[in-house]
Amino acid sequence: MTLAELAFACYLYGKLNEYDRPYNWFRDVTEGAPNMDEPEHREALLVLLNRWGCRQFAQEYYEHASKELFSWHTKAFAMLPDKDKNLWDLTPQELNQMGTVFESLVDHIASYKEMDGRSFAIRVGPAAAAKIIFVLRPRAAAPWDDETREGLGFNGSTVSYTSYLRSVKSMIEGIEKTCRRHALVLENLPKMLQRPNSTMPKLIEEYYWVTVSKGCALPKETVFQNWAQWAR
């Protein structure tokens, strides 16, 4: 992935879906500092997850799901990295801890489904778990959806989640080298790419959403060069 490809994919991401709107709403509601000790913040997170396509959080079970989130967060909070720590600065131990946090969340109950007179528990699952961790630690975690995960060959296990984070970290480190060659500051990229509320891990997820989830092949380098010439 080149910096030009990342920029183009993130531009497409911002134009092809409405995911920014609920996320910006959530950031406003929580003032950019979501706190799972606050019932209002937990409910806002459930609304966000619904708008991000996580339908397992049925509205009639919001109260139950909120309690599940509170129970999980009470135990997992100490394992989360500092909110200002970036993914590329995490140690191997901290990455493994992120996997433990993911594992502790994925099987919590999101809601229940009635079928043939019986009640079945619907779990949080790997997509929502990754999104929840991202929302709480947007600098250190990257979300994924089912299509991206499966397209990249990850099965949703704890091992696959930590492997995904390592791959995102590696891609960011590659982009950082490009930034240095062009005298750019890595952490300024989201703003430069007109994605000011995204973090670097989120930009990588946006690239994957476009190229993997939606199967959009990006232009080759020569195409970018031609476009640049035509703009003169």
Name the band, by pLDDT with cuts 50, 70 and 90, for residue 118.
Answer: confident
Per-residue pLDDT reduced to its tens digit, 179-194: 999 999 999 999 999 9
Q: How many angstroms separate the CA atoms of 115 and 126, rounded?
A: 23
Contact 79, 162 (CB under 8 A): no
Q: Is the pLDDT of residue 59 over 90?
A: yes
Residue 219 lies in a domain: no
Mean pLDDT across 114-136: 94
Mean pLDDT across 42-58: 97
Q: Is the pLDDT of residue 75 over 90?
A: yes
Under DSSP, is residue 116 helix (H, G, I), strand (E, B) or coil? coil
Supply the pLDDT for residue 114. Answer: 86
What are the C-alpha distances in Å from 149 to residues 18, 52, 79, 213? Answer: 21, 16, 24, 9
Q: Is the pLDDT of residue 116 over 90?
A: no
Task: Please state, for a pLDDT cut of 90, what percent of the chain lies above it.
Answer: 94
Q: Which domain does 23 fall in, by range?
A: 3-214
Residue 44 lies in a domain: yes
Per-residue pLDDT reduced to its tens digit, 216-231: 999 998 999 999 899 8
Per-residue pLDDT reduced to its tens digit, 146-182: 999 999 999 999 999 999 999 999 999 999 999 999 9
Residue 230 lies in a domain: no
Q: Residue 173's CB: how many other CB atoms inside 10 A?
A: 12
Residue 158 lies in a domain: yes
Residue 163 lies in a domain: yes
Give the chain's domain count: 1
Hey, what are 147's tokens? 């299509």
Q: Is the pLDDT of residue 89 over 90?
A: yes
* Residue type present at position 95: L
Q: How many angstroms separate the CA atoms of 125 and 128, rounded?
A: 6
Supply the pLDDT for residue 139. Answer: 98
Residue 228 lies in a domain: no
Residue 226 lies in a domain: no
